[in-house]
Homo-oligomer: A and B are copies of this chain.
Amino acid sequence: MINLSSILKNTAIKKIKKGEILLSNGDLSDSFFHVVKGCLRSYIIDNKGKEHVFQFAPEDWIISDQESMMNNGPAILNIDAIEDSQIKIIKRPSEKTLTGLDKESLLEMNTKLLRRINSLQKRIIQLLSSSAEERYTEFLKTYPNLAQRVPQKMIASYLGITPEGLSRVRKELVRKK
């Protein structure tokens, strides 16, 4: 029987340069990326050509295009490196290897997926009910220190506001203190 954490342990670390693209919209992908060091991000380009950061993945986060993974279809998201990074590339368990996983691992996957659903749920509720300022302070909690590592325009994009907007929110927060 195969075991998830043993897969992770035995996977080789790959070194990625800042700016390197790991997945482009339209690609087929059967892998997800486990970040050991550095930081990746996933994003889409909308029909007006605008970039929207969907997720950041600093140390110990996992990132992938669920759509592509699931359906074996073309990826919606793009994934690239924001910093020089070290990652482990995990091939999606195929029908075969998935069935080959032990029950322990399946349960573990279930838990992780539920956690993910949870965080997505929180983000939606936030987008529905919080102002730009509230979302930014929430971001600071979710990703500690990341604000210092990532360009502000990407954070703005993640929050659903413009870089100028974020600049003003930050100014306002400083003023309040």
Which residues of A are interface residues toward B (Cβ below 8 A)? Answer: 44, 46, 48, 50, 52, 54, 66-67, 69-70, 76, 98-99, 103, 106-107, 109-111, 113-118, 120-121, 123-125, 127-130, 157, 160
Contact = CB atoms under 8 A, between A and B. Distances in A.
Given A106-B107, A125-B44, A127-B160, A118 B70 contact: yes
Contacts of A106: 103, 106-107, 110
A59 B155 CA distance: 38
A102 to B, nearest CB: 9
Contacts of A46: 125, 129-130
Main secondary structure of the interface of A (DSSP, over half): helix
A79 to B, nearest CB: 13
B67 A118 contact: yes
27 contacts: A44-B125, A44-B129, A46-B125, A46-B129, A50-B129, A52-B129, A54-B121, A54-B128, A66-B114, A67-B121, A70-B114, A70-B118, A76-B125, A98-B107, A99-B103, A103-B103, A106-B110, A110-B110, A113-B114, A113-B117, A116-B117, A120-B121, A120-B124, A124-B124, A124-B127, A127-B128, A128-B157
